[in-house]
A and B are shown apart, each in its own frame.
Chain A
């Protein structure tokens, strides 16, 4: 391992050394190096072992297309798989060869930090090579806002590796001018991951300390993504020391590294000669140029002095241990072996068209350059320029691999260890499409997405099938263009910031009281309030019994609340709900169901009539936004003539539900100017009054079957009312209860929860709520569908209760139900369990379920089929507790 750093040259900063470790060895490079160039400079031949065959691999390229030098980074930030060609050398960098297909870091590994940025510009240029710099420069002359993104830390692209120094000098001059221009934003170390509709481009910027995901909306997008050199498969073409010719020239020019002492160049086109000049000029002994082209066909350039030209010859094999020592060539009368430690290969060039194709741009096969180039199609706002468009590519012989008897060491995709023989085998299985061959061989499915292998694979397939060149092109391109960490995609939307958390005005009390919360949509609701060392079962049991025997209090502020106001509000609600709301008297409350046009239940709630032209309707906690949207949709699109305004007031009101036989006593103790007696304040009525000195809207509605008052007050007063209710109710044994007890209490009464006991396939009749479907009032959403033959089927599933014969056998929610206890699969299921609890008052486990012809099966035994066997259950009417509703008046 000797140093191969040239004494001078390159664009590294020799005054700023960088210390790093590779595979445990302390090494040194310079600022401006990549890990790949620093390893080459230190004479490290083997950078990685191949994932499946364990073959030693070196460095093939200088960019994200790298399929060989794949490493695992352990410091300063962890990266499980990364191409060494894209890792900027920093002090303290630690890496090692990737193990197999890679290994996950421990869960304790800190994620790479990411943040999202948003930008708008007139022109976005992707790629800062000669074409990209020129495009950005031209756009600035139109005084436009320009963004230029470049995946490498430097600008200039491949100009640095040109044989003549003019291209690099011109690029440097343009880059310098643009860097001083305030009207252009230049992002380096930034990869455009995908191009989407209407000029939307997502860019991953590898910035520090946090990486950035840019969402850019551009009026025009210019793709100047350049071209990528193709390797050529021959026997042992994956040996360390085999490198793309342009990469070899780039290591010389950019990094001041001689990637070998004695080189053979193997080429199909004149660009291989250009790279040979660069190598020769840096002191590399170029022994021979092996050119597959015979005679002078297409060839314009002479070999560098001292190099032998072998026209019409090919490289058949490499030898070494493991680094390249000799190249076997064939072509003349006899085969030859040429000693060399560098084999620079150019199989032609492929425009980098991934982004162009993602947004629908098409390709055409170009015979002269033997590659696919953009065909001019694609969105009007997109331009492809420079070598990405096929401009300035060297004409190339159409040459895809070196023929041989044994093709099993002709590597096509180095990251997948896939060879020409693997493609031939896939064709033998009958595959014809390159998309199928890709999925059979895995060629093009690794990190580089087939950047160096896709075009070769396609032409090997075309050739083997006897189809013309270009009959099938490369496989589909999809975002992301290069790997991006999930942590960067997540950005700051992690943990507590993943989704907004909504809490009620009483939340602080719940937290202080040790409530256990559950998420209901974005809301955080108390699930139960454990006392002492109670577990959930004990707490829920105690809370349920408090409501059934004394009194409980629940924070119901999360219920969706919509004010529906206007002279046509009654008619509008009649069209939305299955029952009539126009006939509701002022001061009255009515339960209602909302159906979709298909007649299926989508939400429920109550409507309170506050005035002739004013209703307050409630929705499920999770359905509030959808119900408001539904109201708006019908008002705006079908009935704009209706004079109705809908306003969400969910967060303006705080709702405290007081439920239980002693609820009236609590109300009296709170001091109210409303007469709470059953005669003065009947069930399903609403009154405005004052409670505990707070203006309140009081509704007598019950979700537990017990006497209950719902106290609605201004959100600002919610906590005060809650604390007052607890204080006033203390002598009466009041207990706060959470959503779990609420669920048990409502299920004992057979009240369904929309979204739990329904799933979008359930009609009001299926729920046993035909009584609130009012056909006489006129049309309403879903009415016609309820008369479709399917809705009238006799074998529909009905909501019923399910009582396990063993009263302790609580069924899992979701359990499937069959009519027989056993039988060979497939067993026909007649329904499933939707809700399941232990009932303290019934002193047994019970469930609700949707069962085929369920109401006709009441009293019969069916079977919940579980992994452990069948649990016999009796079908029952869903109202298990107080079916005569004697308790609701207290």
Chain B
């Protein structure tokens, strides 16, 4: 039961949030121009980092904003949370 640091609302219980997977995977400018392999890499392949990882979170039962956070996937400790469009304060995995 994590305490998720929403950059808009402050620390809130995990039950209010939806997890959105790995962050900073930008939707390609021209998906049709990608090969099947390139598209599959975007669609399916994830870093699955052990340690610090940048993730997307959605405060579904709160401010309903998406944001990014760096979380240690071993200790479950949140290192940073930042708004969409901002860079990760510390390099994510």
A residues near B (Cβ < 8 Å) are 196-200, 217, 360, 379, 597-598, 629, 632-633, 636-638, 640, 779, 783-785, 787-789
Contacts across chains A and B counted by CB atoms under 8 Å: 56
From residue B84, how far is it (CB to closest CB) to chain A in Å? 6
Docked CA distance A636–B58 (Å): 10
Q: Contacts A199-B3, A360-B75, A379-B77 given; 9 further ones with Cβ under 8 A?
A: A197-B1, A198-B2, A629-B18, A629-B60, A633-B20, A640-B84, A640-B85, A779-B31, A783-B31
Q: A198-B1, A629-B58, A638-B26 are in contact. Are A788 and B32 (CB under 8 A)?
A: no
8 Å CB contacts to A: which residues of B40-75? 40, 43, 56, 58, 60, 64-66, 75
CA distance A632 to B60 in the complex (A): 10
Contacts A632-B66, A633-B20, A638-B26 given; does A779 touch B43 at CB 8 Å: no
Q: Once the chains bind, are B65 and A636 in contact (CB under 8 Å)? A: yes
Partner of A637, one of B31, B40, B56, B77: B56
Point out the residue from A197, A629, A638, A788 that lies within 8 Å of B36, measured CB to CB.
A788
Chain B nearest CB from A67 CB (Å) reads 31
Number of residues from B at the complex interface, CB < 8 A = 28
Q: Chain A contacts of B26 at CB under 8 A?
A: 638
A783 CB contacts on chain B under 8 angstroms? 31-32
Give the distance in Å from the alpha carbon of A598 to the alpha carbon of B31 in the complex. 12
A636:B43 contact, CB within 8 angstroms: no
A787 to B1 alpha-carbon distance, docked (Å)? 40
Cβ 8 A contact of A779, one of B32, B56, B60: B32
Q: A779-B31, A784-B34 are in contact. Are A636 and B20 (CB under 8 A)?
A: no
Q: Which single member of A196, A360, A636 contacts B66 (CB below 8 Å)? A: A636
Closest residue on chain B to residue A598 by CB atoms:
B43
In the bound complex, how far is the Cα of B85 from the Cα of A430, in angstroms?
57
A597 near B43 with CB under 8 A, answer yes
Asked whether B36 lies within 8 Å of A217 as measured between CB atoms, the reply is no
How far is A783 from B30 in the complex, measured between Cα atoms in Å?
Answer: 11
Q: Is B39 an interface residue (CB 8 A)?
A: yes
Contact residue among A196, A629, A788 (Cβ-Cβ distance under 8 Å from B39) = A788
- Distance in angstroms between the alpha carbons of A360 and B76 in the assembled complex: 11
Are A379 and B66 touching (Cβ within 8 A)?
no
B39 touching A785 by the CB < 8 A rule? yes
- Point out the residue from A197, A632, A640 that lies within 8 Å of B2, measured CB to CB: A197
A186 to B81 CA separation, bound complex (whole angstroms): 35
> Which A-B residue pairs are the 5 nearest by beta carbons?
A784-B31, A198-B3, A200-B1, A636-B66, A196-B1
From residue A388, how far is it (CB to closest CB) to chain B in Å? 22
Residues of B within 8 A of A779 (CB): 30-32
B13 contacts chain A at the CB level, 8 A cutoff? yes
**A contact patch SS:** mixed
Cα A199 to Cα B13 in complex, Å, equals 11
The residue in B31, B65, B75 that gathers the most chain A C-beta atoms within 10 A of its C-beta is: B31
24 contacts between A and B (CB under 8 A): A197-B3, A197-B76, A198-B1, A199-B3, A360-B75, A379-B77, A597-B43, A629-B18, A629-B58, A632-B58, A633-B20, A633-B58, A633-B66, A636-B66, A636-B84, A637-B56, A637-B84, A638-B27, A640-B85, A779-B31, A783-B32, A784-B32, A785-B39, A788-B36
Write the nearest CB–CB distance from B87 to chain A, whole angstroms. Answer: 15
Chain B residues in 8 Å Cβ range of A597: 43
Residues of A within 8 Å of B1, CB to CB, are: 196-198, 200
Contacts of B27 in A (CB 8 A): 638
Minimum distance in angstroms from B79 CB to a CB of chain A: 13
A126 to B75, CA, bound (A): 22
Q: Could you tell me the distance between the alpha carbons of A821 and B32 in the complex, rounded to whole angstroms?
A: 44
CB neighbours of A360 from chain B (8 A): 75
Of residues 1 through 43 on chain B, the ones whose CB sits less than 8 Å from some CB of chain A are 1-3, 13-14, 18, 20, 26-27, 30-32, 34, 36, 39-40, 43
Q: How far apart are the CA atoms of A640 and B83 in the complex, in Å?
A: 12
**Could you say which residues of chain B place their CB within 8 Å of the CB of A196?**
1
Q: A784 contacts which chain B residues (CB < 8 A)?
A: 31-32, 34, 39
| Closest residue on chain B to residue A118 by CB atoms | B13
| Chain A residue nearest to B14 in the complex (CB) | A197
Q: How far is the CB of A339 from chain B (nearest CB, A)?
A: 56
**Min CB–CB distance B11 → chain A (angstroms):** 8
| A198 contact set on B, CB distance < 8 A | 1-3, 76
When chains A and B are docked, how far (Å) is the Cα of A217 from the Cα of B30? Answer: 46
How far, in angstroms, from A196 to B13 measured CA to CA in the complex?
12
**In the bound complex, how far is the Cα of B38 from the Cα of A785, in angstroms?**
12
Select from chain A the residue with minimum beta-carbon distance to B40. A788
Q: Whole-angstrom distance between the alpha carbons of A680 and B66 in the complex?
A: 45
Asked if residues A632 and B3 are in contact (CB atoms below 8 Å), the reply is no
Residues of A within 8 A of B3 (CB): 197-200, 217
The closest CB in chain A to the CB of B32 belongs to A784
Q: Residue among B1, B30, B34, B43 with the most chain A CB within 10 A?
A: B1
B36 proximity list for chain A (CB < 8 A): 788-789
CB of A416 to closest CB in B, whole Å: 32
Assembly CA distance A541 to B71 (angstroms): 57
Contacts of A632 in B (CB 8 A): 58, 64, 66
Of chain B, the residue at the smallest CB distance from A194 is B1
Measured CA separation A198–B12 after assembly (Å): 11
Tell me the minimal C-beta distance from A766 to chain B in angstroms: 18
Alpha-carbon distance A837/B19, docked complex (angstroms)? 39
Q: How far is the CB of A872 from chain B (nearest CB, A)?
A: 40
